[in-house]
Amino acid sequence: MRAQRVWKVNGAASIGQLQSRLDDLNKRLGQLENQHPDNWKLEELRSSALSLSREIDDIRCAEATAALSELLRK
């Protein structure tokens, strides 16, 4: 079964906002893993956390590439 994103992130969202969502999601994952290790929702939450972390990485890479391009133009 292919993982699906649980929510859509606004393109204008800052890395800080995304990181906060990821932190909350990871906290909830930890709670569920301790309370109900066989819960079927754990896989959905893990998939959402991975998607969100990839989105954060994409934004950071895009920002770094833009900064490097600006430096190389000078």
Residues 27-71 pLDDT 10s: 988 888 888 877 777 888 889 899 999 999 999 898 889 889 998
**Is residue 46, in this structure, part of any structural domain at all?**
yes
**Is residue 6, in this structure, part of any structural domain at all?**
no
**Is residue 23, in this structure, part of any structural domain at all?**
no
Q: Are 21 and 45 in contact (CB under 8 A)?
A: no
**Is residue 54, in this structure, part of any structural domain at all?**
yes
CA 36 – CA 21 distance, rounded (Å): 22
Rounded to two decimals, the pTM is: 0.65
Read off the pLDDT band of 8 (50, 70, 90): very low
Q: Which pLDDT value is given to residue 53? A: 92
**Is residue 59, in this structure, part of any structural domain at all?**
yes
Q: Are 49 and 25 in contact (CB under 8 A)?
A: yes
What tokens does 26 get? 């990871």
Task: Give the count of domains, the chain.
Answer: 1
